[in-house]
Structure 1
Amino acid sequence: MSGSNMIFTSQHDVDLCRLAANGERRAFGELVRRHGSGVRQLLRRMGAQASEADDVAQDAFLAAFERITEFRGEGTFSGWVKRIAARQYLRRLQRDKRLAALAQEAVVDDSHGGATQADGRIDLDEGLKTLSAAERLCVSMCYGAGLSHAEAADALNLPLGTVKSHVKRGLEKLRARLAPPGGVALEGRRENG
């Protein structure tokens, strides 16, 4: 790594955003390096295939670069770019006319059994695969991208109650699936409404 690139690795995200807003492309490159895999992981959890997650993540970072002056540092850069990516993925779903099918999808077959664990570790990705597409999408948006239920409902163009129902059912299924054998189900996170 060259000396000039090492300068950026020691900078805080907010400082990198400020530098990028002033035209320093390498500063934004450091932000992409830091947060690219997290954005792609969120998109995969929302249901995107690997290549689609790569495409949407790239589009999200391009949009973030174009709008970098809008980032005020009031939240994390990671959360900001994940919200951009989640909204772009939803627009892609709407454009493909798959969203209507997601909202109408029946409950997934629960024949998968208990939690998938390797060496005692909980596998969230495997747990998410057992949810219906609508539940996975709503849970990922509200807990992976950090959107409120109302923001997710707006982005999905669904009634707020429908989003809350998908999130509630999805979280209940995840808690039951990811509970330790013979143990207590996972404790809930904050109310996200």
Structure 2
Amino acid sequence: MDAGLVREARAGSDAAFARLVERHQAPVRAFLRRMLGRNWDDADDLAQDVFVAAWGSLGRLKDVAGFRSWLLGIAWRKAQDRMRSGLRSQARDRSWLDEAQRSDGISEEDRLALADAMAELPTDQRACVALCLADGWSHGEAAEALGLPLGTVKSHVARGRARLLAVLTGGSDDA
């Protein structure tokens, strides 16, 4: 049955490919969920990527009867890429945290409180604080990158700094 649908899809039938997706979506998602563990949303997003890649490379499928195994091969390679990317990201995060702990002397408790306080800042303010205070950008550089007026960036940085200091020192937040 897949072979006929694959031939039709190769001939340009969106409906045939939609039927292939319908037939194989659950097994692909289940495979990716098992591969990626508890991150089911990530697995479901990746399943969509698998079908997009399959649609784009359907012409390169050599054996139309082997569509299912070909599709799961795409899923396997995408899962490997995602897992490797996740490991690299974790290593970068650990390295950054280790370096930050060595260089600034902030306790883990204060670091977590700071992260929580950053998450509570309004989005624009958080971006300005992240660029100017955490990454050392000038107000002008941040204004250009964020597409905000210079005065707004300065104001966001000042208010954000006040909120963060209030959290870390246990003071009141007047901003």
TM-score (structure 1 length as normaliser): 0.43
